[in-house]
């Protein structure tokens, strides 16, 4: 077990890079496997989650290697996927397993999936139900891993109106749609991150997306597209950037810049919320790279006030709620988050972990099945070191390490090795700008 201690720090300053975006990294590898020819990937996130997807694709017969500068995925299209000779272990990665289930379901192969302790408890019904509509036979442990997929030769195109706004479910259905002969139709109540749609379009698929004024989004994808291998430059991850950004917002006199971050507006809900709270966040050097908006984020320490987060914003900050809770502890008044029930299905039950752990410090926190409210209090100063178990959730670990930077007696996060699922350089990057971390 790795533990990291975080103790009160002076102001954070400097310019940093966070690693490549996790969602786009998974997709670049997976879509590279669907295309004809060579896909080259620059700035791939080399974290445990992404490597789980990479190794699974290798076991499915896809040739993936690293050159000095790029990763290369060589494929002859979806027909080249083979029966693996082992069970595919996706470790901690929900994105990896759910997207790969969609990929293999139309490939006429049999594939079994398993994960770590956390992934094995996560709900898979959300992807099993639509995939079964395509004629795929799926054996599961009561809608959980381990799962075996008996792929179909030509899947029936799925028409699915999801009750959940989830980019993982959407991407799973779209990947299945690549192998079917007709049009796959998918809708969700509020648009979730659209990297799969953007990347499929960039690689030559006929894909159309329609936004409605109430937030609903509908997608139509034509089956059997001739996807061509492309060059992807992965922007840096706004979800990872949220940790140093949050720490700079709450540690007096801090000022940092985070370079080349993905600023797709379906990923920037955290930044919109902290701006509404009075936070100094400025985006600059905006440009388009491989079909995504990219730019720099300038953050300064700010006096913050509590807000009510609009429910429609939830999908665009879904991964940032743990660190947003930490920011809310330093705002004047109450911050209210509702419509966040799916946080209970992440790498841990993030509502329970945030609420129970913040109560250990004495913060005034309330929760229900689908909400959290926090009353900020800058005067909380525990008399001794507080110990937090990450529960193998990288974002719980990083959130409390950021909170520790304001605590005289520090915070010790146990099972901190989980941070390498998404942000392997977290310790070094934070130390570089002045965070007082110890191993
Ligand atoms: C992801 C989608 C989100 C997010 C996860 C990554 C993706 O999950 O929480 O970390 O890459 O598609 P949901 O789609 O389940 O909300």
* Per-run averaged pLDDT (10 residues), the chain, 439 residues: 97 98 98 97 97 98 94 94 97 97 96 96 98 96 97 91 98 97 97 98 97 96 96 98 98 98 98 98 96 97 98 98 98 98 97 98 98 97 97 97 98 97 97 97
Specify the number of domains making up the chain: 2
Give residue 154's pLDDT.
86
C-alpha 250/C-alpha 12 separation (Å) is 10
Shared domain check, 331 and 283:
yes
C-alpha 193/C-alpha 28 separation (Å) is 15
C-alpha 387/C-alpha 398 separation (Å) is 13
Query: How many other CB atoms are there within 10 angstroms of residue 14's CB atom?
Result: 15
Which among 127, 238, 318 is the best mutation to test ligand 1's pocket, defined by most ligand atoms within 8 Å of the CB? 318
Shared domain check, 130 and 27:
yes
Give residue 182's pLDDT.
94
Helix (H) or strand (E) holding 257: strand 255-262
Give the torsion sign (CA, 216, 273, 15, 244). negative
Shared domain check, 333 and 285:
yes
Shared domain check, 172 and 43:
yes
Half-sphere exposure in the Cβ direction for 262 (13 Å, CA): 28
195-202 and 22-34 are packed helices; what angle lies between their axes, rounded to 10 degrees? 40
Please answer whether residues 219 and 187 qualify as being in contact, where contact means their C-beta atoms are separated by less than 8 angstroms: yes
Shared domain check, 205 and 294:
no
Give the range of the structural domain holding residue 107, as residue numbers without chain letter: 22-233
Shared domain check, 277 and 195:
no
Looking at the CA of residue 169, tell me the nearest atom of ligand 1: 14
Shared domain check, 65 and 82:
yes
Q: How far is CA 233 from the centre of its chain?
A: 18
Q: Is 209 exposed, middle or buried (0-12, 13-18, 19+ CB in 10 A)?
A: middle
Catalytic residue selected from 319, 342, 389, 393: 319
Which among 49, 166, 396 is the best mutation to test ligand 1's pocket, defined by most ligand atoms within 8 Å of the CB? 166
CATH number at residue 255: 3.65.10.10
Nearest in space to 78 (alpha carbons), one of 48, 104, 116, 49:
104
CA angle centred on 182, ends 179 and 184, rounded to 5°:
80
Shared domain check, 180 and 31:
yes
Give residue 354's pLDDT.
98
Which among 48, 101, 168, 200 is the best mutation to test ligand 1's pocket, defined by most ligand atoms within 8 Å of the CB? 168
User: What is the spatial order of strands in the sheet that 63-66 belongs to?
Assistant: 63-66, 71-76, 36-42, 231-233
Shared domain check, 74 and 124:
yes
Torsion angle of C-alpha atoms 289, 279, 7, 420, degrees rounded to 10: -20
Shared domain check, 267 and 175:
no
The CA–CA distances, whole Å, from 368 to 36, 108, 316 equal 49, 44, 21
Domain boundary among 233, 261, 294: 233
**Residues flanking ligand 1, CB < 6 Å:** 23, 95, 166-168, 171, 192-193, 318-319
Length of the chain, please? Answer: 439
Q: Convert the pLDDT of each residue in 138-187 to its tens digit.
A: 999 999 999 999 988 888 999 999 999 999 999 999 999 999 999 999 99
Give residue 153's pLDDT.
84
319 is catalytic: yes
Shared domain check, 219 and 268:
no
Looking at the CA of residue 22, tell me the nearest atom of ligand 1: 11
Going by alpha carbons, the residue nearest to atom 13 of ligand 1 is: 166
Q: Convert the pLDDT of each residue in 58-84 to its tens digit.
A: 999 999 999 988 999 999 998 899 999
Going by alpha carbons, the residue nearest to atom 9 of ligand 1 is: 319
Domain boundary among 189, 211, 233: 233
Nearest in space to 405 (alpha carbons), one of 275, 252, 257:
252
Half-sphere exposure in the Cβ direction for 300 (13 Å, CA): 7
User: Cβ contacts of residue 67 below 8 Å, gap of 6+?
Assistant: none
Give residue 69's pLDDT.
86
Looking at the CA of residue 167, tell me the nearest atom of ligand 1: 14
Give residue 363's pLDDT.
98
C-alpha 129/C-alpha 154 separation (Å) is 18
Q: Encoding tokens for residue 344? A: 């209970």
The CA–CA distances, whole Å, from 33 to 72, 79, 103, 291, 375 equal 10, 10, 9, 19, 48
**Ligand 1: centre distance to CA 95 (Å):** 6
Q: Convert the pLDDT of each residue in 415-427 to its tens digit.
A: 999 999 999 999 9
Domain boundary among 198, 233, 268: 233
Shared domain check, 189 and 320:
no
């Amino acid at each position: 077990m790795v533990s990291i201690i975080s103790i009160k720090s002076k102001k954070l300053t400097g310019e940093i890079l966070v690693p490549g975006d996790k969602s786009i990294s998974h997709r670049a590898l997976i879509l590279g496997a669907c295309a004809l020819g060579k896909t080259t990937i620059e700035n791939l996130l080399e974290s445990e989650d992404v490597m789980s997807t990479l190794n699974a694709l290798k076991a499915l017969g896809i040739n993936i290697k690293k050159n000095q500068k790029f990763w290369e995925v060589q494929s002859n299209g979806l027909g080249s996927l083979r029966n693996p000779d082992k069970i595919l272990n996706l470790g901690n990665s929900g994105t990896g397993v759910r997207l790969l289930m969609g990929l293999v379901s139309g490939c006429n192969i049999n594939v079994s999936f398993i994960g770590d302790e956390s992934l094995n408890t996560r709900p898979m019904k959300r992807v099993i139900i639509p995939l079964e509509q395509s004629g795929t036979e799926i054996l599961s442990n009561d809608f959980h891993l381990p799962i075996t997929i008996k792929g179909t030769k030509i899947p029936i195109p799925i028409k699915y109106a999801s009750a959940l706004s989830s980019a993982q479910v959407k991407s799973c259905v779209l990947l299945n749609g690549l192998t079917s002969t007709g049009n796959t139709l998918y809708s969700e109540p509020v648009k979730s991150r659209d990297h799969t749609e953007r990347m499929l379009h960039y690689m030559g698929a006929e894909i159309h997306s329609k936004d409605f004024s109430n937030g609903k989004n509908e997608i139509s994808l034509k089956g059997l597209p001739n996807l061509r291998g492309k060059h992807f430059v992965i922007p840096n991850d706004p979800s990872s950037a949220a940790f140093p950004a949050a720490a700079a917002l709450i540690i007096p006199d801090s000022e940092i810049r985070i370079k080349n971050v993905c600023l797709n507006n379906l990923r920037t809900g955290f930044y919109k919320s902290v701006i509404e709270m009075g936070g100094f966040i400025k985006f600059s050097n905006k440009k388009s790279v491989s079909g995504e908006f990219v730019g720099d984020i300038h953050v300064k320490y700010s006096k913050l006030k509590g807000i009510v987060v609009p429910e429609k914003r939830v999908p665009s900050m879904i991964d940032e709620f743990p660190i947003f809770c930490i920011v809310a502890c330093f705002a004047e008044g109450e911050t209210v988050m509702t419509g966040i029930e799916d946080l209970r299905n992440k790498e841990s039950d993030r509502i329970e972990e945030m609420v129970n752990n913040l109560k250990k410090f004495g913060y005034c926190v309330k929760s229900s099945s689908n909400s959290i409210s926090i009353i900020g209090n800058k005067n909380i100063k525990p008399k001794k070191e507080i110990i937090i178990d990450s529960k193998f959730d990288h974002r719980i670990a990083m959130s409390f390490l950021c909170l520790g930077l304001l605590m005289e007696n520090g915070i010790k996060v146990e099972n901190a090795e989980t941070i390498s699922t998404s942000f392997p350089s977290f310790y070094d990057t934070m130390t570089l700008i002045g965070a007082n971390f110890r191993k």
